[in-house]
Amino acid sequence: MKFFHTADWHLGKLVQGVYMTEDQAYILDQFLEAIKLEKPDAVIIAGDLYDRAVPPTDAVQLLNQTLETIVIDLKTPVLAIAGNHDSPSRLNFGSKIMKSVGFHIVGEFSHPFEPVILNDEFGEVHFHLVPYTEPGKVRHVFLDDTIKSHDDAMKKIIDKIDDIKDEKARHVLVGHAFITHNGEEKENTSDSERPLSIGGAEHVNDSHLKDFHYVALGHLHQAHHSGIETIRYSGSPLKYSSSEANHKKGYLVVELNGEGEVTVEKRLLTPRRDLYIVEGYIAEIERHSHCEDYVFVRLLDESPILSPMERIRSVYPNAMHVERTGVKAPTLTDSESHGMNRMKLDDLSLFKAFYKEVKGLDATRETEQLFEKTLQKILEIEGER
């Protein structure tokens, strides 16, 4: 049996105020092409189909068209779960009706479990679809007060799956969680993932999952295995933050043979516009050739630059962010330049330092007086309010 494993589409996502829907449509088109060519037996989407509980309508339309194409036109079953960004009940709508046509989606966590069963020449493969769930919900469903963390919750869920596991079949778990190897955290997180819990109890030990023939995960946006090669994140199909600049985005092709052995291949997708970091001096960057990519620019210049974004966008019209890593406030000593110390400067000194930083010249006495007069006036007006 061969299936595609993808996750974290985040349809409807805004990156730095830019809607990614067109980029998402572009990448999903390639994904559909790949399904058409390779004819997998199923497509797994391991959560975060949408970026938020109530996605914009064009994201709803994009997901609808994509799923219709896979399920109806390409006659390929889809196995999907809700992630922490999705609304369980909204994603659940129609799930029972769509099941019989080959679209299996589990939005809301519930028990008893019922795997989706697909067949190949070697027999049955059971897909266990576990949507993202708060530990409190699992505690409530099983009336088990010992469940406190995500780790406790996943352990309980796996125990319950074990109870119904048909030993003759092969088993695939589809989940959306923060899985780490024996509790050690590797550097696999990105800025575009929303923490699952505040205070650190979000990690789930991969040892709970080791008895499945394959575990298809969503949540972390970088493709990797947990440390156990059959427990994998496919990663998101697109870069959603500058911390993902060096990721290679795509999806996984998983082949499961009759013995339950797995081979995994990563296939890359080509984005409409890449997303990466450009570092350099403004004068250098202005000599780059015109480029539509989503760039995050780090300017090394130490001297003041007026309208840096405007200048950068003449070359990179879709630049997302400019940061000035080379800047030091020239009139301040090192200790003064520290934010906390700056706040201790009086208003006039602060103004003078700012003026010099921007204009490259000291403020004249006349300018200082104008500043003081204006500030005085503002403070008076504010006092009257």
* Binding stretches for a copy of itself (CB under 8 A): 54, 57-58, 60-61, 63-64, 67-68, 71-72, 87, 89-90, 92-98, 100-101, 103, 385
- Quote the tokens at residue 118: 């697909």
CA 375 – CA 248 distance, rounded (Å): 52
Q: Tell the smallest beta-carbon distance from residue 46 to a copy of itself (Å).
A: 20
Q: How far is the CB of 73 from a copy of itself (least distance, A)?
A: 9
In whole angstroms, how close is the CB of 382 to a copy of itself at the nearest point? Answer: 13
Q: Which is nearer to a copy of itself, 114 or 286 (CB)?
A: 114
Residue closer to a copy of itself by CB (options 91, 320) is 91
Q: Write the CB contacts of 266 (distance below 8 Å, at least 6 apart in sequence).
A: 223, 248, 250, 251, 252, 253
Q: 170-176 and 123-130: which strand pairing?
A: parallel
Smallest gap from Cβ 166 to a copy of itself, in A, equals 25
Contact present, 158 and 164 (Cβ < 8 Å):
no
95 versus 349: smaller Cβ distance to a copy of itself:
95
Question: Omega into 115 within 30° of 0, i.e. cis?
Answer: no
Comparison of 44 and 278: residue with beta carbon closer to a copy of itself: 44
Q: Closer to a copy of itself by CB, 309 or 379: give it.
A: 379
* Residue with Cβ nearer a copy of itself (70 or 278): 70
Q: Which is nearer to a copy of itself, 63 or 322 (CB)?
A: 63
Min separation Cβ 102 and a copy of itself, Å = 8
Whichever of 90 and 225 has its CB closer to a copy of itself, that residue is 90
Q: Which two tokens stand for residue 179?
A: 């899985």
Residue 229: other Cβ atoms inside 10 A: 11
Count CB-CB contacts under 10 A for residue 292: 11
In the complex, minimum distance from the CB of residue 197 to a copy of itself, in angstroms, rounded to a whole number:
21
Residue 310 beta carbon to a copy of itself: minimum distance, rounded to whole angstroms: 36
Residue 334 and residue 180: Cα distance in Å, rounded? 41
Report the C-alpha gap between 46 and 82 in whole angstroms: 7
CB of 87 to a copy of itself, least distance (A): 7
Q: Which residues contact 106 (CB under 8 A, 6 or more apart)?
A: 80, 81, 82, 92, 95, 129, 130, 131
Distance in Å, CB of 70 to a copy of itself, minimum: 10
Residues 327/302, Cβ–Cβ less than 8 Å: yes
Q: CB-wise, 88 or 271, nearer to a copy of itself?
A: 88
Closest to a copy of itself by CB, 38 or 68? 68
Smallest gap from residue 92 Cβ to a copy of itself (A)? 7
